[in-house]
Structure 1
Amino acid sequence: MKVELHKLSAMTELEANAIQDLWQLDLSSCWRLYRLLLQTYQGVIRQRILQHEQQYQAAAERLTELRLQEDLCILKEAKVVGMTTTGAAKYCQILQKIEERIVIVEEAAEVLEAHTITTTSKACQHVILTGDHQQLRPSANVYDLAKNFNLEISLFERLLKVNFLFVCLKYQHRMHPEIAQLLTPHIYQELENHPSVLKYENIKGISSNLFFVERDFPKQEIQEGKSHQNPHEAQFVVELCKYFSCQDYLPSQITILTTYTGQLFCLHKLMPAKTFAGVKVHVVDKYQGEENDIILLSLVQSNKEKRTVFLQIPNLICVVLSRAKKGLYCIGNMRMLGKVPLWSKVIQTLQEKRHIGQSLVLFCQNHPETKTLVSTAADFSKVPEGGCNRPSEFRLSCGHVCTRACHPYDAQHKEYQCVKPCPKVLCADGHHCQWLCY
């Protein structure tokens, strides 16, 4: 029966009409007639499904039209309409009907020219583009179109290159002045510090708000040579992140950046979710427009061939150096980067201000005279609790002494749990409490 059900040969309609008595048919003819009847029935069902499908499609289109009309009624009442460039392309019919007169495109230097054009209609009278063409460009999916046909150049940048009238903001409201000096005049000709950034407090537990640790740990190729990782740099950055957590900085105040996806995966492996919950880890080109109080940067690039393809891009260098608000700490092979003209200027500024070296100088908040040099991840064992290697010796409310090494966090020991035997006497017979002190 299974064999017969899988066969496709069927009786023709002429043969079926010629049958006088079904009971006179042989078994093979019965099966062929069965398949004809089955195909005829399936054809009727398909016709019905097609009709229902057409009805559904018409109803769906009608519903979409009504929803668009509903959105249009709401949007016409609004003074300001906000959307992404993708949303502008998706709802281009509504935009044409809204007839907006003024269009403002934020981060316009990172938006493809075609996407910018989709936001405008015939009724548009004024387009305002805000952005920074010296930071990341828009990314095109097809490399050939980006490099050979300039698809990665935004309308914003193209207009600047033909000397179109523009206004440049000269005050920066983000970076500590020590960090901002890396950008001026190497990237921006003029960049003044707003008074608000002059009030930033110095980063706790470290000698400088800005430092580049010069190391030449070799990188490793992964994913069949498509990406790179540097485990030594990753371990150093993770230990530095732990150190800042011990200085009473919230995880949300710390971001780790790297230049390669391979290093990103390497960092994730070294950072358990429970310990590092709230710490953001990103690849640099995905962090455009973002900022944080403390930025830890792993440059990864260190190889015998001394190639620095990725870190030669001026736009990327600009993003790398301008994400931090209060503290920027970087580890990488700075001698190799020094062969890139822009990096060479940045390194010269770092050397003049003594913000570059083989070791990072940490100091204990409780004992400021105690300083610790760290150049590798293993060196952080000298400051196990973020202070120094002296015992804490803080007298607790229970009368015992803190058994931890010197630590700047929980200075009043309100969260500390004393694990010594409880000294309480419970009764006149001299019975002692059997629990631990806390």
Structure 2
Amino acid sequence: MDLQSPQPSVASILRVVAKENGEQHLSLKQGHRMSIADDQPKTIEGNYLLWSSCGDLKQIEKENENRKKMWKNSKAGSSRGPTLLPLPSTARQLSQLRQAGLWAMSQWERKQLVKFWVEEAEKEIQTNHTQLMERMQTRSTAVDDARDAIRRAILRNAQVIGVTTYGAAKHQTLIATLQPKIVICEEAGEVLESHILTALSKFTQHLILIGDHLQLRPKISTYELSSESRQGQQYNLDRSLFERLITTAKVPSSLLTTQRRMRPEICNMVRHTLYPKLVDGENVLKYPNVSGMATNVFFMSHSHPEDRRDQYLALSASNTFEAKMVKELVQHLLKNGYQQSNIAVLTPYINQLTKLRDTLHGTAQLAIDERDQEQLDEIKDKNITVTFVNNQSTGNRLTLRTIDNYQGEEADIIIVSLVRSNTRDDEHGWSPTIGFLRSPNRTSVLLSRARHGMYLIGNAALMNQPQNGIWPKVTTELGKNGCIGEGFLLRCRNHPHIEIPPASNPEAFKTYMPNGSCTMPCSMLMPCGHKCPRICHFDDQEHKNFKCQEPCARFHQLCGHPCTKQCIEDCGDCHLPIGNLILPCGHKLESASCPQKRNPYIIQCKERAIKRLPHCEHEIEMDCCKSARVVTNVNQNHSGPSRTACIGLFFQTRGLAGQRTVPASNGVRRPSIVDISVMRRAI
């Protein structure tokens, strides 16, 4: 057989060759009278494995070794030496092995032939794979065309088509066939120029871009190619088409100058730095002050250093002190009546986001953006311990987000953890830095998210360095209004005149305002008339849920006596003791109560009294409250001169005169009619 024939497949060659040469191998062993046990299975695969691993050659070598030993041990050994089996040792080229027997090949020849077969098999597989890929691509294109035809039929009747920039690039052919004349892009300052271009076609007549080039730029995966990097400034890959047209091409544009989100104190930070023409809408002038805080805007400055960098997160910073301050501030605001959904906590670093999640866990239900969650999942893959909660974005949940993923959103109260707090380190060559917080675009987003109040935590001295973008202007603006200091300025809503020390550490909130308010006594009159014994509190201002433990000051309406219970309890009946009481029967009741005095006829007198039976001259001693008409003693003796014993009869009144009770067969007494006169004569 031609081992190098290009016509049949390599697999078919191997099957035929292994079968034929397996028979040759068997006859070869029988010809040499080999008695070696062959454990290989009699299959094509077994023959091939035996041949390729040179198992038969090893068997020959072993057989020869045995023959040598037997010859040496024989007493009458042949002078010619032992008879050994031939062991192939040739080194023929591949072209010389066309018609050669496989089992007669040497180990080197077999390796060369196996190598050739493997290469041929790989070529065959690659050819088949290429053909399958071409077939799959053809069918996939046909399926996409069919789907596009369906979409096209639906979209032709639509006046407005909404699509993401990624979707526009993916369905570029479909959109081009619809021939849209007007293209509108929202948040254009955050979209790469290439993404805008994919949405345009030769039919586009008008392109409208809406956005803010002073806020976040488009995101790119390589920091070195961004304009924030010194190296990337020559590329400006993250510069949007919107920004280029506004700053360079000077195309016609319109500027919206009225903002209706931020209260004026918050707006001043961006108005005096980036947006000098910005004016406030009327609605922002009516915002309420933040409850529990002395100012609506404040920058708490501290010098607590950043945490030591993790080896896996060398580019991400964190600050444990700031995380603890954020937790206490959130709890303080919640105690002052704010819902979790009114508050958003922002930070520039994913590592600080992780620490905030750990710290706030159990304090509030958190809502995390999907983009932040993906980064947290990457941290989890690197075996860093992180406490995770369910990702929910609806309902009453506190928003926790990185600044880069909060553009376009807002909240009543924004708390910002700036994280960076470092000093110069000459030993390692480090200089104080705030990293990418220098970016005016990122700072613009950070400072423009709050409606009613905004509170920043960071190192103001570090942020005030001249190389740190617009931050020196921001800190100057805050300082002019007294909105920067070493501790948050707190204010009690119930006692606004009380001066509370600044909260410069997490413990200060619990010390100065444990209930979200000051430590002064509440002293407000509750609905019951008593003063509230609690310290100042914001919750339950009307004291409807408080259980007053003071003595009740009400009077019973029937008797006029004061109530002796606690205020929270129902007064009920008066049980005030009034001393001894003379009952209508003439007996005296000791330690009587008020209800007994009001209605003495319901009292059952337990004093013993002598009463005459109604149907005879007998007398009986019984409780005063009981009637003599019901006789309980049947062995009563006569009183008087007759001294005749009663025979054990008793009479019942109420229409039963003349009846007597006699024993029944089962021992239960039952009444029977008798003649009273006959009974008396018998006696």
Q: 2:252 aligns with which of 158, 165, 170?
A: 165
Q: Which stretch of structure 1 is more off in the superposition, 288-297 or 410-419?
A: 410-419
1:141-189 per-residue CA deviation (whole Å, 9 max, x = no partner) reads 1233331421110001111222222211111111101111111231112
In structure 2, the partner of 1:42 is none
Tell me if the contact between 1:11 and 1:29 (Cα under 8 Å) persists in the aligned partners: no
**In structure 2, what is the Cα distance between the partners aligned to 1:317 and 1:337?**
11
Q: CA deviation at 1:365?
A: 1.3
* Pick aligned residue for 2:438 from 293, 312, 328: 312
Q: Where does residue 507 of structure 2 map in the other structure?
A: 378
| CA apart distance, 1:264 | 1.1
Query: Structure 1 length as normaliser, TM-score?
Result: 0.83
Measure, in 1, the Cα distance between the counterparts of 2:179 and 2:549: 71
Q: 1:302·1:332 contact (CA, 8 Å) conserved in 2?
A: yes
Which residues of 2 match residues 138-149 of structure 1 at below 5 A? 138-146=218-226, 147=232, 148-149=234-235
2:360 equivalent in structure 1: 271
Instruction: Tell me the TM-score normalized by structure 2.
Output: 0.55
Contact 2:409 2:449 in 1 (8 A): yes
How many angstroms apart in 1 are the aligned matches of 2:316 and 2:23? Answer: 76
1:215-364 superposed matches below 5 A: 215-224=302-311, 225-273=314-362, 275-277=364-366, 278-305=397-424, 306-340=432-466, 342-364=470-492
Check whether the contact 1:264–1:283 (CA below 8 A) recurs between aligned residues. yes
Q: Which moved more, 1:375-384 or 1:420-429?
A: 420-429
Contact between 1:257 and 1:283, CA under 8 Å: does it hold in 2? yes
**CA drift at 1:190:** 0.9
Q: Is the 8 A contact 1:361 1:371 kept in 2?
A: no
Equivalent residues in 2 for 1:2-81 (5 A)?
Answer: 12-14=15-17, 16=19, 28=40, 30-32=42-44, 61-81=141-161
Give the distance between the partners of 2:18 and 2:159, measured in 1 at CA: 73
Deviates more, 1:71-80 or 1:57-66: 57-66
Q: Distance in 1 between matches of 2:545 and 2:170?
A: 53
Please give the alpha-carbon distance, in whole angstroms, between the structure 2 residues aligned to 1:253 and 1:389: 26
Which whole-Å CA distance do the structure 1 matches of 2:326 and 2:352 have between them? 11
| Letter in structure 1 aligned against 2:316 | S
1:153 corresponding residue in structure 2: 239
Q: Higher Cα Rg: structure 1 or 2?
A: 2
Structure 1 SS opposite 2:211: coil
SS at match of 2:294: coil
| SS in structure 1 at match of 2:43 | helix
- Does the CA contact (< 8 Å) of 1:247 and 1:408 recur in 2? yes
Superposed CA offset, 1:84-134 (max 9, x none)? 111112222211111111111111111111111111122111110111111
Distance in 1 (CA, whole Å) between partners of 2:137 and 2:528 is 76
SS in 1 for 2:42: helix
Q: Secondary structure at the match of 2:489?
A: strand
| Larger RCO (alpha carbons 8 Å, 6+ apart) | 1
Quote how far apart the aligned CAs of 1:63 are: 4.1
The answer as to whether partners of 1:11 and 1:33 remain within 8 angstroms in 2 is no
Write out per-residue CA displacement over residues 404-429 of structure 1, whole angstroms, 9 at most, x where no aligned residue. 54221332345567899974588999
Question: Match of 1:331, SS?
Answer: strand
Deviation, 1:392, is: 3.9
Tell me by how many angstroms 1:251 deviates. 0.6
Aligned to 1:389: 519
What amino acid maps onto 2:322 in structure 1?
E
Q: Structure 1 residues 52, 126: closer, same or farther in 2, change over 3 A?
A: closer
Match for residue 274 of structure 2? 187
SS state of the match for residue 325, structure 1? strand
Secondary structure of residue in 1 paired with 2:437: helix
Deviation string, structure 1 residues 226-270 (Cα, Å, up to 9, x no partner) = 221111111112111111111111110101111212211111111
Distance 2:219 2:172 in 1: 22
For residue 350 of structure 1, give the secondary structure of its aligned residue in structure 2. Answer: helix
Moved more, 234-243 or 158-167: 158-167
- Once residues 23 and 361 of structure 2 are traced to their aligned partners in structure 1, the CA distance between those partners, rounded to angstroms, is 81
Shift of 1:271: 0.7
Asked whether the equivalents of residues 264 and 280 of structure 2 are also in contact (C-alpha less than 8 Å), the reply is: yes
Paired positions, count? 419
Corresponding position of 1:44: none
Residues 55/119 of structure 1: CA separation in 2 closer, same or farther (3 Å cut): closer
Partner secondary structure for residue 212 of structure 1: strand
Cα distance in 2 for partners of 1:89, 1:165 equals 26
- The letter for the 2-side match of 1:327 is G
Q: Which whole-Å CA distance do the structure 2 matches of 1:302 and 1:33 have between them?
A: 69
- Deviation track 1:44-82 (CA, whole Å, cap 9, x = no partner) reads xxxx99999998877665444333222222211111111
Name the residue aligned to 1:409.
539
The answer to which of 97-106 and 404-413 deviates more is 404-413
2:529 and 2:139 mapped to 1: Cα distance? 78
Q: CA separation in 1, counterparts of 2:213 and 2:225?
A: 19
Q: How many percent identity over aligned positions?
A: 34
Structure 1's 165 and 276: CA in aligned 2 closer, same or farther, altered over 3 A? same
1:114 aligns with 2:194: yes
What amino acid sits opposite 1:309 in the alignment?
G
Structure 1 stretches of 5 or more lacking a match?
1-7, 37-47, 431-438
**1:53 & 1:427 partners in 2: Cα distance?**
94
SS at match of 1:269: helix
Structure 2 alignment gaps of length 5 or more: 1-10, 30-37, 49-127, 227-231, 367-396, 425-431, 551-565, 577-683
Asked if 2 retains the 8 angstrom alpha-carbon contact of 1:205 and 1:363, the reply is: yes
Greater alpha carbon shift after TM alignment, 27-36 vs 199-208: 27-36
Question: Is the contact between residue 22 and residue 47 of structure 2 (CA under 8 Å) also seen in structure 1?
Answer: no
How far apart, in 1, do the equivalents of 2:238 and 2:221 lie? 10
